Amino acid sequence: MIYCTVVAQNYLPQALALYESIRRVEPDKELVILVVDGDRRDLETGRPGLRIATTEILGLSRRDVLELAAIYDVVEFSTSVKPLFFKALLAESERVAYLDPDMMVVTPLQELPDLLDAHGVVLTPHFLEPIPEAIDHITEGHDLTVGIFNLGFCAVGRSAVPFLEWWWGHLRRECLIYPLLGVFVDQKWVDVGATYFSAHALRHSGYNVGPWNLHERHFTSNGERFEMDSSGDELRLLHFSGFDPADPEAISVRLSVDLRGVGADFPALSELSRQYAANVIAAQAVLGRSQQYGFSADAQGEPLTKRTRRAYRKQLLEMPSGARMPSPFIPTEVSRFRRWKRRALVTRIGVTASDAAIAAKYALPDEFALVKKRVPGFATLRRRLLQAGRVRG
């Protein structure tokens, strides 16, 4: 079994904290960290069981990698390459488990080998039980927006290669944060793929415990182990999504709610949160000043906006096979890229209009119905605008 994660350099402290947790509980396991925006193989020195990979491991040309970096923001890019990363590591090991960099392995993930041999793909749902009405910080609508499964954890065996190829077929150009079209990076696609490829939904309550499911995953410590109150399962994997190590009692800022009071009735969580915060802060001290994401700006330092990335993606989708766009990240091409960007104002406006056309149906339903009824050709116009998103259903 190989463990792996994907980061940009700005998230390396969390990845090193993950490494330390694995070394503590499974010292025989290797962690492979794919750094998408640089070569940090220097970090392997003095860290047994740690391997740093560059995007060369993905089997893509440098041009293809730069296209992904241009059309996607840092979250979209980092999640889009998971299937290729899995395939590369499956050439070395029969089983591979992806863990988000902001996770802590608390005890060995000992259930995985047998599950992977039986099912090929193992996933963790956000929730295992219906959410009580009294819970006010999250609802089951969360699953409808971001997906049934939290892809901060995903484990595969070699029989999962067809699933990985199908998944990459979508993520290559459709790994978008685009809720209006029902897409959320790699996660929502897996809602579909889990059925196609008979993935196993892991119901062990100690896996992938995070801010979204704390209401059903209370655990306690007896001094030797952390045990889930509801099931007696041992805590395996804790997910510190949206965690600020400078303010560990806040738990998470990702859900736009205040979870600060949770720790008062959850001493075991507070204990592990403080421990995790200390590990991240220690890694920050070793790494020094935080690095800016390597693909946040073009080769001359001008930031790439989300709208520009969407327009670039649209242009790529409309080009004939084999044709290439000038890359914003290649110094000899950045001038041509900027000329394209100036000329592409209409394309960027079209992308905005596409978003507006999708949103209007839901934000202004009565007005939308009236326009649809009274304006000849409206259906044709809306269809053209929707096609600008170019996400396959």
Tokens of residue 217, six digits: 């995953």
- The pLDDT, as a whole number, for residue 361 is 58
Burial class (CB in 10 A: 0-12, 13-18, 19+), 163: buried
Which residues make Cβ contacts (< 8 Å) with residue 315, sequence separation at least 6? 325, 340, 344, 347
Determine whether 242 is exposed, middle or buried from the number of CB atoms within 10 Å of its CB (0-12, 13-18, 19+).
Answer: middle
Which runs of consecutive H residues, i.e. helices, occur in the chain?
12-25, 62-71, 74-80, 82-90, 112-119, 141-146, 161-174, 187-196, 267-287, 306-318, 334-343, 345-363, 365-374, 378-387
Q: Tell me the pLDDT band of 86, cut-offs 50, 70 and 90.
A: very high
Contact status, residue 172 vs residue 200, Cβ threshold 8 Å: no
pLDDT in tens, 173-232: 999 998 878 899 999 999 999 999 999 999 999 999 999 999 999 999 988 899 999 999
Mind listing the pLDDT tens digit for each residue in 260-286? 666 557 889 999 999 999 999 999 999
CA 282 to chain centre: 24
Q: What are the helix (H) ranges across 120-200?
A: 141-146, 161-174, 187-196
Taking residues 36-44, what's their average pLDDT? 97
Q: What is the pLDDT of residue 385?
A: 47
Cα→Cα distances 247→211, 252, 256, 336, Å: 15, 9, 15, 45
Domains of the chain, start order: 2-287 (3.90.550.10), 306-387 (no CATH)
Q: pLDDT over 70 for what percent of the chain?
A: 85
Rounded Cα gap, residues 83 and 172, in angstroms: 10
pLDDT band at residue 360, thresholds of 50, 70 and 90?
low
Distances from the Cα of 253 to the Cα of 128, 248, 335, angstroms:
23, 11, 39
Share of the chain above pLDDT 90, in %: 72
Secondary structure of 118-136 as H, E, C letters: HHCEEEEECCCCCCCCCCC
pLDDT surpasses 70 at 19? yes
Q: State pLDDT tens for residues 110-157.
A: 999 999 999 999 999 999 999 998 887 788 888 999 999 999 999 999
pLDDT of residue 372: 60
